[in-house]
Every structure is written in structure tokens, then in C-alpha cells.
Amino acid sequence: MTEHHPRPDNQILSALPQSEFQRLAPYLKTIAVASGDILYEPYEPIREVYFPDGAMISLVSIMEDGSMTEVGLVGKEGMAGLPVVLGGKTTTSQGIIQISGTVVRLDANILKQEFQQGGELQRLLLLYTQALMTQISQTAVCNCKHVIEQRLARWLLTVCDCIQQEEFHLTQEFISIMLGVRRSSVTVAAGILQQGGAIRYRRGKITILNRDALIKTACECYGLVQTEYQRLLGD
């Protein structure tokens, strides 16, 4: 008799045909992670991949002077550790937990074996790779072209989409590191969004009160990236 394992909320894993999921299921392990936990470091072999199932992962670029800037976000829609299936064993970015929760961990070799079978997992991961590339490239444009309150609004909306919650814990210091700006700039921008009724920010807890208002404040980058995610990975 075939043992059936419950499906995680992660969109890639939940979209797999039953036969593919059951091949992976014995190797999937759901673990709790906390903000600041490091999943993998730059230039080190990626031995495990992670499918967020409530937590959110930041892909962070680290400069020689130790300063950091976020280049990508991974939530329930995706997976961290893509170089494993793209032919590489390392990456130049750090994978770090930004919002606490759970992730589904899988040995990189098991993932690679399943990917090479050319089934639905391969198709979904390739589509997700294209969507993530869009997010990363548009973030680079956004950081150069748009003011901080637009960027913060776009970023908060993306966080909300990644974890599918409208309330989460994030300090201004952490946000400033991720956006590559001064903490004082985040304070001013968050104040503008709060005064406009879009969010509430108290003691490290952010609540999105008016999503439509936040969308109006955000730059065009948010809509562009979300449209591409929906085109590639939507039902």
C-alpha cells in the first residue's frame, strides 16, 4: 500500500502530480526557522534546498565591507537553492530567513534526480526561475529609479504576497538593510505610509490596513512583477 503524505502549502510542491509528490515526500522535512537564520552562504556548496511554507527567505548580496542588500524574495510561491538544478553548486548570494515560520527542506541531490526526470517539477522550477529573474532585475531598476516610499510600498506588498499574511514582524533596521538605505529613510517612508492609512507600524509589527492605498503608492515595478508571476505560475 502506498503511503500518502500531506501536502505543504508551498505552491510548487502543492502543484505536483500525486506520483511526483509521493516520490519526494519521504525526503521532505518541515522545519521551523527564525528570522536571521542563514540557510546557505555565498560560494559554499548548496547541500539542501528550501520550499517556504510560511516563512520568507531573502536572497542577499554581501559587499566586501560587510554591507548587505536584498536582491530577491522567496515565499510560498517558490524555492531557495535554484543553482542546484541550473547546473551550479554555489551562488554569490546568501539565503537568510527574513520572516519566521516553516520551510520544507529537501536534500539537493534528491531534488536534482527528480528534476532530471523531466516531469512537472522541472517545468515548474524553470518557470519559477524566469519569474524570479524578473523580480531580481526589476528590483535593480526600482532601486535606481524610484523614491523610498514607493520602494517600501512595493516591498511590503511583495512580503504580503510571499507569506499570504497582512501582518508580520519586521524591524526598521532590518528593512533598511534589505532596501540598502538608511534607517532614518525607512522611518520617514513608513511614517508617510502610516499617515496615509495604508499601514500600521508598532514595535516591529507591520499591519497592512489598506492594500489599495499601498498599491497606489507603490511604483509600477510591483504590478509588473506580479503580472509576470501570475502569467508563469498562475492557475
Per-residue pLDDT tens digits for 139-187:
988 888 999 999 999 999 999 999 989 999 888 888 888 888 898 999 9
Which one has a higher pLDDT value, 178 or 23? Answer: 23
pLDDT band for position 135 (50/70/90)?
very high
pLDDT of residue 5: 65
Q: What is the pLDDT confidence band of residue 3, given thresholds at 50, 70 and 90?
A: very low
Tell me what pLDDT residue 235 has.
60
User: Has residue 120 got a pLDDT over 50?
Assistant: yes
Q: Do domains 11-126 and 147-218 have the same CATH topology?
A: no
Query: What is the reported pLDDT for 1?
Result: 30
Regarding predicted confidence, which is higher, 115 or 170? Answer: 115
CATH number of 147-218: 1.10.10.10
pLDDT band with cut points at 50, 70 and 90 for residue 83:
very high
**Domains of the chain: which residue ranges?**
11-126, 147-218
Above pLDDT 70, what percent of the chain? 97
pLDDT tens column, 27-65:
999 999 999 999 999 999 999 999 999 999 999 999 888
Q: Is pLDDT of 8 > 60?
A: yes
Residue 4 has what pLDDT? 53
Once rounded to an integer, what is the mean pLDDT over residues 181-197? 92
pLDDT value, residue 2? 41
Q: What's the mean pLDDT in 70-86?
A: 94
Instruction: Specify the higher pLDDT residue, 118 or 5.
Output: 118
* pLDDT at 179 (0 to 100): 86
| Assigned CATH topology for domain 11-126 | Jelly Rolls (2.60.120)
- Which H, E and C letters describe the chain, residue by residue? CCCCCCCCCCHHHHCCCHHHHHHHHHHCEEEEECCCCEEECCCCCCCEEEEECCCEEEEEEECCCCCEEEEEEECCCCCECHHHCCCCCCCCCEEEEEECEEEEEEEHHHHHHHHCCCCHHHHHHHHHHHHHHHHHHHHHHHHHHCCHHHHHHHHHHHHHHHHCCCEEECCHHHHHHHHCCCHHHHHHHHHHHHHCCCEEEECCEEEECCHHHHHHHCCHHHHHHHHHHHHHHCC
Could you read off the pLDDT of 208-222 as tens digits, one per residue?
999 999 999 999 999
